[in-house]
Structure 1
């Protein structure tokens, strides 16, 4: 096979395919590649540091061949179950009937996710000279693992998680900050949130807060 049919999900093929080198990757392709990389980390084929580096590269990939290069040395035959457990395909049906949110951005402005939003296996957050707020305390989780791929460039991404959720943070700060203060174990059987990506002259902050607590600015007395 030299090229994926229109609408097909990304899956890596052996290197050296000229057509793949000329085919531009879509956002969905990058998200699928990140799901494969996350699965490789979950089975120990990639260290958290290797995953962070490759995930950041995948987010900036232009062609399918660039994504293939990131996955070329992975044991794909051992990743099947791990990939399925954390990807959108495995999402259960939303009780609200709403479609899952897959991306949020703040470009010279702000973007937010919260309230009763539905989230699945992967969420992309992008901030460019703007701000993104992701509040997971009252969202509807429809997959056991939520991977949040963050890119903060001269901007900020703030992620608030409830106290009972397990959180892993594997991001990188480049002339910026990638805070993991919200990382830690949750209760058994609770969703797992994996925060990855990078902050370039910006910041990504993950924090915990009780459900119902208002984290906004207080009114003056």
Structure 2
């Protein structure tokens, strides 16, 4: 749904992201306003509204509104809901990352990696760094089981997800910043586990900040 500079330009990744109920409802509002404005006939509205109800991705929804003058329809565009950000792709998890292990060494997960619904991060006298800002989530909830024994696990979560932290620190530290996402359909990152004479830290950071 791109028009008149109101929304970011579409890209391939955004087009295949899964849409939420709130996104489909917004499209219905746009289509209704377009019919009232005279941009759509009742027949066209009915056809597009039916497709919107069945739409699965942002690409499906964009096709229904790309030719409409959205800026003239007076529909409020909730940018946090519609802008590109962390979303559940619903893709296959067969090749998704499930483990990161560092024994007297280091291990890292970052970039556009595909992560499964559960990820184990084990650091024994080593360090594991997990950066979730650009990864593809394959499930609504990602559970990260952390084991840090005389080592450390650092997790960077993007601002657009819900973060839940619940772990145990014994002669070590287990904590960070929890948050509740306002974005419909945003993933949930659940961090749990044990830090024994080590540390687990969860940071919520902007997606575009390369220095964090």
- Do the structures match in fold with TM over 0.5? yes
Query: Which shows bigger deviation, 143-152 or 172-181?
Result: 172-181
- Corresponding residue to 1:185 among 180, 183, 203: 180
Structure 2 residue runs of 5 or longer lacking an equivalent are 1-88
Which string of whole-angstrom CA distances, capped at 9 and with x for unpartnered residues, describes residues 159-203 of structure 1?
Answer: 00000100000001000000132x110122100000000100000
Report the alpha carbon displacement of residue 93 of structure 1 after superposing the two structures with TM.
2.3
- Corresponding residue to 1:92 among 90, 93, 106: 90
CA RMSD of aligned residues (A): 1.6
- Corresponding residue to 1:133 among 124, 129, 135: 129
State the match for 1:23 in structure 2: none
Q: Is residue 2:191 matched to residue 1:195?
A: yes
Q: Is residue 2:141 matched to residue 1:145?
A: yes
Q: Which structure has the larger Rg?
A: 2
Return the alpha-carbon distance in structure 2 between the equivalents of residues 93 and 162 of structure 1.
20
Structure 1 residue runs of 5 or longer lacking an equivalent are 1-90, 217-221
Report the alpha carbon displacement of residue 131 of structure 1 after superposing the two structures with TM.
0.2
Return the alpha-carbon distance in structure 2 between the equivalents of residues 204 and 190 of structure 1.
23
Report the alpha carbon displacement of residue 92 of structure 1 after superposing the two structures with TM.
3.1
SS at match of 1:170: strand
Return the alpha-carbon distance in structure 2 between the equivalents of residues 204 and 215 of structure 1.
20
Distance 1:107 1:171, change over 3 A: same
Structure 1 residue runs of 4 or more that deviate by more than 3 Å after TM superposition:
none
State the match for 1:170 in structure 2: 166
